[in-house]
Amino acid sequence: SAESSETLFCPISDTVAAEIFKKKPRSRHHRWRCAEVTFTCPEEALCQHWVSSIREQLAAIASRPKHLLVYINPYSGKRQGKRIYERKVAPLFAQAGVSTHVIVTERANYARDQLKTGAELQKFDGVVCVGGDGMFSEILHGLIWRTQIDGGVDPNCPEEELIPCTLRIGIIPAGSTDCICFATVGTNDPVTSALHIIVGDSQPMDVCSVHHNNTFLQYSVSLLGYGFYGDVLTDSERKRWMGPARYDLSGVKMFLTHHYYEGTVSYLPAKGIMGTPRDAARCRSGCVVCQHNRQLLPEKAERYEVDEASESDSEWRTLRGKFLAINAASMSCACPRSPKGLSPAAHLADGTTDLILVRKCSRFDFLRHLLRHTSKDDQFDLAFVEVHRVRRFCFTPRHCQSDSDLDLRENGKHQIFSQICRDHPACGCAPAYSSWNCDGEILNHTAIDVRVHCQFIQLFARGIEEPKVFEELPNPCAI
C-alpha cells in the first residue's frame, strides 16, 4: 500500500534548526522560522490518527491563543504594516488554526478608544498590534484603562493599586524604533513575533504610571526621557513624512543645539533587590532577577502599606542640577539603533526603572556618552553620568515650583517661547523647559510623578534567549 504523509506546522529557532538539519546557525540571532517535518507511515488510517491526536494535543494547550483581536496601523514606520501582516503573518495564523478579527486603524487613537469602551473583549485570548511603539502604547492604554474602569479603580490617583490586565498583547513589528519588540524578543522580525504568539509564549513586563499632581498623564514601558530624547522627539514629530530617518536628523540637530535644563529629581531607590544598573548580566528568558524581585513585593493590600511606610521614612533622595538628559529606562530599550540599549542591564519585569542623569558637560563629552550606546564601552562610566535603580521618582523643572507658574507655562506661553528657541538656536537664549518623551509620545506637563507597577502586563514573548553553545543542545534523535 502507498505510504501516507502529512506535513505538520512546527516553529523552531535557527539554532535548533541548525542542529536538526546540521546547518550552521545564521548570524542573525533570535530569529525563528517555520520548518516542515514530514513523517511517513505505512497506513493512511494510522497517519490520520497521528494527525488528529497531535491536533488535539495542540488544541489542549491552554496557553496557545485561539482567537485574536488584531489592530494594524497602516502608517507605522515605512507604511508597510498592512502588507507585512497580510503576507507574512496572516498565513501563519491560518496554518496554526488561530482565528482573527482584523481592524485597520482609521486615525490616531482609534484602537485605544475602541479598547477603552467599545470592543467585546471576552471572546479574545489576546490583542495584537501591527506597528511601532506608538501603536503598542495605544493598545496598552486601552486595555489598562478598560481594566481599571471595569474594576472600579480610579486611574487618576497615583497611590491607587491598579488591577493588572489579563489579556496578553502581541507585537508584530512594523514601526520606526520597535524598541519594545526588540527588547522582549531580541529582534524586530514579524515572522518571529508571529511564531511567539502562536506558541503562546508569555513575558511579564513592568509598567510605569505617570501623573501630574493628581491627574493621570500616561503609562510607559520603555523610555521616559526629558532633555535630549524629549527634544529629539519634539523635533522629529514635524518630520514624520521622512519615516524612520527623522530620528537620525533630529538626533544630530539636538546634539548640536546642546540644551541643558535645570530641575530637581527626587527618587525612591529600590532597596534589597537583586541586580544593579552596572551589572554585566542581562535580563534574559526566564530571568531569575525578575522572579526574585517580584517575590520581594508583598501582595496587594500589604504592598500599599509598605510603600507608604518607606516613603514616610524619608528614604527619598533629592538631586538638583543642570541636566542634558534625564532618562528612566524600565527595560534595556535595546533597538536596532542601539542593540544594547539605554540601560543594558535593566530588567523587563523586576518592578524597577533605571534613572539615568546626564549632567551638563561639553559637547565632546556628551558625544562620548552617546557613542557608547553603540559600542562595548560603559555609557555610565563617565563623571557627569549617574544611574540609580528606583521604584518611584518625581521631577520638577526649576521655574516651576508653584502651581500658578505651572498653569501659566503649560497653557501655552512656555510652549511658544521654547518653540522659538528650538527653531532659532542662534538666538542664544536657552529654553527653560524640555518635554518628556514617554515611549515616543510627548507629555504636555513637565512636572511629573512616576511609579513602577511590577509585572503589570503580559506579552506574547519569552524574553531574549541566550544563544546556546552547540554542544549543549540535546540530540533530537535521542529524545
Ligand X SMILES: CCCCCCCCCCCCC/C=C/[C@@H](O)[C@H](CO)NC(=O)CCCCC
CA-CA distance, 157 to 57, in Å (whole number)? 45
Contact letters (x/-) for ligand ATP, 440-469, by CB under 6 A? x-----------------------------
Residue 337 interacts with, from ligand X, ligand ATP, Ca ion, none (CB under 5-8 Å by kind) = ligand X
Q: Look at the block and give the residue holding cell 544563544.
A: 467
179 interacts with ligand X by CB under 6 A: yes
338 binds, among ligand X, Ca ion, ligand ATP, none (CB under 5 to 8 A by kind): ligand X
Distance CA 293, CA 300 (A): 15
Q: Which residue has the cell 512546527?
A: 10
The three cell numbers of residue 260 are: 541643558
Q: Give the footprint of Ca ion on this chain (CB under 5 A).
A: 206, 330, 347, 350
- Judged by beta carbon distances under 5 to 8 A according to partner kind, the member of Ca ion, ligand X, ligand ATP, none in contact with residue 458 is none
Composition of the chain by helix, strand, coil, percent to 5: 35, 25, 35
**Cα separation of 232 and 370, whole Å?**
13
Phi and psi at 472, nearest 5°, equal -75, -20
User: Footprint of ligand ATP on residues 35-94 (CB under 6 A)?
Assistant: 73-77
Q: Which of 177, 455 has the CB closer to ligand X?
A: 177
Q: Per-residue string for binding with ligand X, 149-178, x by CB under 6 A?
A: ----------------------------x-
Of 31-39, 171-179, 211-219, 395-403, the window that binds ligand ATP (rule: CB under 6 A) is: 171-179
**Strands (DSSP E) found in 213-305:** 215-220, 223-227, 261-269
Residue ranges with strand state E in 255-384: 261-269, 317-329, 353-359
Per CB under 6 A, the segment of 23-31, 172-180, 304-312, 403-411 that binds ligand ATP is 172-180
Cell 546547518 belongs to 23
Query: Is 313 a catalytic site residue?
Result: no
Q: Which does 223 bind (CB under 5 to 8 A by kind): Ca ion, ligand ATP, ligand X, none?
A: ligand X
Q: Pick from ligand ATP, ligand X, Ca ion, none: which does 77 bind, CB < 5 to 8 A by kind?
A: ligand ATP
241 binds ligand ATP (CB under 6 A): no
Site for ligand X in 333-352 (CB under 6 A): 333, 335, 337-338, 342
Decide: helix, strand or coil at residue 81. Answer: helix
Burial 191-226 (b: 16+ CB within 10 A, else e): bbbbbbbbbbbebbbbbbbbbbeeebbbbbbbbbbb
* Residues within window 353-372 making contact with ligand X, judged by CB under 6 A: 370-371
Cβ distance to ligand ATP smaller for residue 180 or 457: 180
Residues catalogued as catalytic: 133
